[in-house]
């Protein structure tokens, strides 16, 4: 079933932020994909940063990296995890990017000297990016970031209002995600915030075709009728979205609410019957798994779990496939410096040292690595985690006492981790980086091929593939000058990318792997990442043998 013209579903949010627009958009996309339609998603963010790459993870959660090296909003991670598709930089843009493009065009003289204004120039740029992202798709779902009523969101709302006029009513629909709060004292669910939010949308020329209502409690029939009447929405277009035990249950809840019936009716998509059997099985295993295993998650941004979103989700995916609950025991690396690794990691079945930037908490992370290495506990080091595993080994096994990373000491006499002057980026361009280079432009970003060493733990984890592709987000590299000393002492290089060290492992250890890439970025519910799956499997075996 192929449609010659792309159809659009615009998702907006009202009342307050963090209601889960991204999850709602990804869930609708999943249902449509499982019908057999070609679906993609776009996130349009009204903030002025050009991309989220330089934003603090404490404020904005993690930065998600696409295969083609774009640093994007973490919602793109949800889209990929639900859809099991690689998205690109076309699938996320910000106000900052829109304005930079328009200003560049104006400087080049593309507008022939006319006065540049929000309407039409900014709005047209937003529209053209939406149309570009939808090319070749049956349906494009567009999530507009922020909340209706935000001043910075107005050009985006004007763009989707105008785009529907361009393509016609049968090719575009508006879904508004809103909150129905429960007032405990009155014992009532309240519709007024939703009514105001819809009025605000209508004021700017958008009448929602469907309301998705977030609520702590089920919505009574009378309340749905009241909403339909007061907001001018068909009764079967009021979709209930109660809190779910896992986000992966949301597509199944939407299916029960028959969300596809009105969508099909409005966009004339014919009969839509998604096959969600495999998804249903995996969700049941997430909710009620057979086994339990505990991973010690050693990091420094532990107050904000959103900073590690892809990683925490990847353990859910691995657990669903192993029919086990992967409990993450969050261990602050600075606490390990104070109390020691034995006290804090004694009860875990595996140790994970995640990525991160900067020197804070590094000593604690190395103590955790030493604990896993000496006690033969399964270990996975990601990005900085791999680099610290090499420094720990150099200091404690090779006896290079001043072994360090140039990230922490630019003048270290023993740079186990260093800054290479140049490398080839994902588009085949040569990049130069120095200590003075601006942070945003000097990272190795996106997917790179990695050659795996025969019979290595890495190759076995990846089903004996000789070449794998994983995504990166880092500046510093492992220094090959020390490679012979490492390998002689039992730490072997098991993955390489154009001469750069991508993976290390320990001989004589049941499961010890450090990877320079971020395996979590390619993990999906229906296809968990192989390195993380292998690590969880090793932790389960460790748990079984250690009771």
Q: Which pair of structure tokens corresponds to residue 383?
A: 């990005």
Say if CB 313 and CB 68 are below 8 A apart: no
The position carrying tokens 């270990």 is: 379
Output DSSP code: residue 122. Answer: I
Measured in degrees and rounded to the nearest 5, phi and psi for residue 493 equal -85, 115
Catalytic residue among 472, 474, 509, 518: 518
Q: Active-site residue 121, yes or no? A: no
Look up 62 and say whether it is catalytic.
no
Q: Are 274 and 31 in contact (CB under 8 A)?
A: yes
Write down the residue that tokens 């910075």 correspond to. 152
The catalytically annotated residue of 383, 472, 474, 509 is: 383
Peptide bond into 220 cis (omega under 30): no
User: Residue 298 gets which letter from DSSP?
Assistant: E
Looking at the DSSP bridge assignments, the partners of residue 515 are: 382, 503
- What's the half-sphere exposure (Cβ side, CA atoms, 13 Å) at 328? 21
Identify the CA nearest to 4 among candidates 30, 31, 40, 38: 38
**What is the C-alpha to C-alpha distance for residues 9 and 379, in angstroms, rounded to an integer?**
43
285 Cβ contact list (under 8 Å, min separation 6): 319, 320, 321, 323
Distance CA 21, CA 143 (A): 7
Cα 11 from Cα 366, distance rounded (Å): 45
Rounded Cα distance, 189 and 179, in Å: 10
Residues 6+ positions from 40 with CB-CB distance below 8 Å = 29, 83, 85, 87, 91, 133, 134, 137, 139, 140, 141
E-strand ranges in 196-301 read: 210-215, 238-242, 291-299
496 is catalytic: no
Quote the tokens at residue 409.
């000491």
Q: Out of 80, 520, 536, 543, pick the active-site residue.
A: 520
Q: How far apart are the first and last CA of the chain?
A: 53
Q: CB-based burial of residue 354 (10 Å sphere; 0-12 exposed, 13-18 middle, 19+ buried)?
A: buried
- In sequence order, the β-bridge partners of residue 353 are 298, 381
Strand pairing category for 39-45 and 139-144: parallel
Token pair 């993609």 is found at: 40
What b/e sequence results for 441-459 when a residue is b if at least 16 CB atoms lie within 10 Å of its CB, and e otherwise? ebbbbbbbebbbbeebbbb
Q: Give the residue numbers marked as catalytic.
A: 383, 518, 520
């Amino acid at each position: 079933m192929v449609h010659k013209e792309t159809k659009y579903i615009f998702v907006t949010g009202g009342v307050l932020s963090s209601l889960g627009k991204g999850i709602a958009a990804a869930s609708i996309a999943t249902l449509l994909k499982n019908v057999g339609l070609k679906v993609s998603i776009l996130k349009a963010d009204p903030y002025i940063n050009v991309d989220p790459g330089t934003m603090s993870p404490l404020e904005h959660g993690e930065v998600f990296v696409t295969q083609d090296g774009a640093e994007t909003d973490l919602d793109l991670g949800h889209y990929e995890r639900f859809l099991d598709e690689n998205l690109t930089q076309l699938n996320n843009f910000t106000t900052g990017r829109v304005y930079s493009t328009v200003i560049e065009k104006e400087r080049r003289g593309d507008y022939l000297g006319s006065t540049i204004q929000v309407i039409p120039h900014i709005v047209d740029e937003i529209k053209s990016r939406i149309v570009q992202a939808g090319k070749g798709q049956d349906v494009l779902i567009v999530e507009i970031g922020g909340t209706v009523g935000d001043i910075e969101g107005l050009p985006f709302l004007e763009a989707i209002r105008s785009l529907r006029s361009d393509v016609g009513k049968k090719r575009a629909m508006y879904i508004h995600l809103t909150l129905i709060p429960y007032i405990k004292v009155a014992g009532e669910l309240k519709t007024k915030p939703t009514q105001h939010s819809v009025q605000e949308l209508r004021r700017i020329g958008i009448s929602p075709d469907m309301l998705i209502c977030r609520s702590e409690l089920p919505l009574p029939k009378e309340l749905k009728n009241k909403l339909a009447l007061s907001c001018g929405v068909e009764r079967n277009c009021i979709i209930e979205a109660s809190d779910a035990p896992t986000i992966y249950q949301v597509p199944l809840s939407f299916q029960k609410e028959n969300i596809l019936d009105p969508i099909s009716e409005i966009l004339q998509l014919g009969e839509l019957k998604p096959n969600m059997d495999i998804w249903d099985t995996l969700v049941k295993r997430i909710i009620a798994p057979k086994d339990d295993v505990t991973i010690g998650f050693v990091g420094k941004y532990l107050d904000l779990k959103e900073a590690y979103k892809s990683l925490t989700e990847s353990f859910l995916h691995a657990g669903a496939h192993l029919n086990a609950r992967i409990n993450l025991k969050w261990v602050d690396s600075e606490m390990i410096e104070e109390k020691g690794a034995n006290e804090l990691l004694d009860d875990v079945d595996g140790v994970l040292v995640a990525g991160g930037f900067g020197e804070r908490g590094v000593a604690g992370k190395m103590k955790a690595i030493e604990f896993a290495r000496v006690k033969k506990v399964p270990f996975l080091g990601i990005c900085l985690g791999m680099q610290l595993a090499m420094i720990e080994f150099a200091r404690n096994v090779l006896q290079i006492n001043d072994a360090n990373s140039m990230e922490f000491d630019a003048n270290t006499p023993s740079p186990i981790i260093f800054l290479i002057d140049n490398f080839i980026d994902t588009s085949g361009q040569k990049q130069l980086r120095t200590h003075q280079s601006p942070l945003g432009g000097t990272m190795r970003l996106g997917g790179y091929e990695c050659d795996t060493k025969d019979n290595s733990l890495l190759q076995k984890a990846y089903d004996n593939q000789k070449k794998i592709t994983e995504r990166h987000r880092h500046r510093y590299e492992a220094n090959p000058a020390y490679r012979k000393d490492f390998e002689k002492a039992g730490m072997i290089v098991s993955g390489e990318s154009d001469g750069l060290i991508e993976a290390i492992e320990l001989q004589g250890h049941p499961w010890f792997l450090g990877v320079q890439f971020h395996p979590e970025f390619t993990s999906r519910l229906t296809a968990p990442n192989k390195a993380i799956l292998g690590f969880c499997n090793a932790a389960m075996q460790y748990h079984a043998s250690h009771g």
